[in-house]
């Protein structure tokens, strides 16, 4: 159990006149890279909100490892070109909403460290509004890494990015998973990315779910995936 970060047991959630999740059970262990896939409306983001304690289940439970630290990377949100903060200052906002130079020496060093990990050092002083879409997502990723998370959740974080930028971002995430043992929960409807990067999949469907190794996913002649 010490190696288990998330244990989901018979989880169900029902909204008025609409069952979203039903009897869902799975575990996420330290070092896993899990892809959560499925069509729109099957409960992918709802599951994330349950893990983050933003929603309560109708039945069942989610048990998080005591003291679990979670980093969260949202879906791409465009930032106005006139946004005043630099990339580095934006990343530092995850320290209680303040920015440089009011951080401690240790905090400033940590900002520099995560900027290096995600490949933003060269544009640290560039206004975030002038950064590319991929660079902005890397800034959100750096924010999420700032406080040494045990689990990193990417909630449709590659949506709206072009294919090359998606791969560049996920290459960074995969490296963090392999080199640091960072546990990843990657929510996506992009089957190609899920086939390439995660080790395991959780496939949410309207009335059931499947889970297994990504190697079990097979693509048919129409480009549709099957287990």
Structural domain boundaries in the chain: 1-68+150-167+176-227, 72-146
How would residue 170 be classed by pLDDT, with cut points 50, 70 and 90? very high
Reported as a single tens digit per residue, the pLDDT across 104-148 is 889 889 999 999 999 999 999 999 999 998 999 999 999 999 999
Reported as a single tens digit per residue, the pLDDT across 198-218 is 999 999 987 789 999 998 886
Query: Cα Rg for the chain, rounded, in angstroms?
Result: 18
* Distance (Å, whole) CA 36 – CA 89: 32
Within 8 A by CB and 6+ apart from 70, the residues are 51, 52, 149, 150, 151, 152, 153
In the chain, which ranges are continuous DSSP H helix? 44-51, 87-92, 105-118, 133-145, 163-180, 191-196
Reported as a single tens digit per residue, the pLDDT across 72-98 is 998 877 787 788 889 999 999 888 766
pLDDT exceeds 70 at position 8: yes
So what's the pLDDT on residue 221?
Answer: 34
Structure tokens at 96: 């209680």
So what's the pLDDT on residue 152?
Answer: 98
Higher-confidence residue of 102 and 57: namely 57
* Distance (Å, whole) CA 86 – CA 139: 10
Q: Count the neighbouring beta carbons within 10 Å of the beta carbon of residue 19.
A: 13
| Percent share of the chain, pLDDT over 70 | 93
3-state SS class at 12: strand
Using CA atoms, how far residue 2 sits from 6, 65, 150, in Å, is: 10, 8, 13
> What's the whole-model pTM score?
0.90
* Chain mean pLDDT for the chain: 89
Structure tokens at 23: 């009897």
How would residue 17 be classed by pLDDT, with cut points 50, 70 and 90? confident
Which fold does the domain 1-68+150-167+176-227 belong to in CATH? Answer: Rossmann fold (3.40.50)
Within 8 A by CB and 6+ apart from 152, the residues are 70, 71, 72, 73, 144, 145, 173, 176, 182, 183, 184, 185
């Amino acid at each position: 159990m010490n190696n288990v970060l998330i244990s989901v047991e018979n989880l169900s959630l029902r909204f008025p006149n609409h069952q979203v999740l039903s009897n869902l059970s799975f575990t996420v262990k330290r070092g896993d890279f899990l892809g959560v896939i499925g069509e729109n409306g099957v409960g992918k983001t709802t599951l994330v909100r349950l893990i983050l304690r933003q929603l309560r289940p109708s039945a069942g439970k989610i048990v998080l490892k005591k003291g679990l630290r979670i980093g969260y990377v949202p879906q791409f949100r465009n930032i106005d070109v006139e946004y005043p903060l630099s990339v580095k200052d934006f990343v530092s906002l995850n320290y209680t909403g303040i920015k440089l130079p009011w951080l401690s020496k240790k905090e400033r060093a940590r900002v520099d460290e995560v900027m290096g990990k995600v490949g933003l050092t060269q544009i640290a002083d560039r206004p975030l509004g002038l950064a590319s879409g991929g660079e902005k997502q890397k800034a959100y990723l750096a924010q999420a890494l700032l406080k040494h998370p045990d689990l990193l959740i990417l909630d449709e974080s590659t949506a709206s990015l072009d294919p090359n930028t998606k791969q560049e971002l996920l290459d960074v995430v995969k490296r963090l998973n392999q080199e640091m043992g960072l546990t990843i929960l990657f929510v996506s409807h992009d089957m190609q990315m899920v086939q390439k990067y995660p080790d395991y999949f959780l496939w949410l469907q309207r009335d059931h779910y499947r889970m297994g190794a990504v190697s079990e996913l097979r693509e048919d002649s129409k480009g549709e995936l099957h287990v």
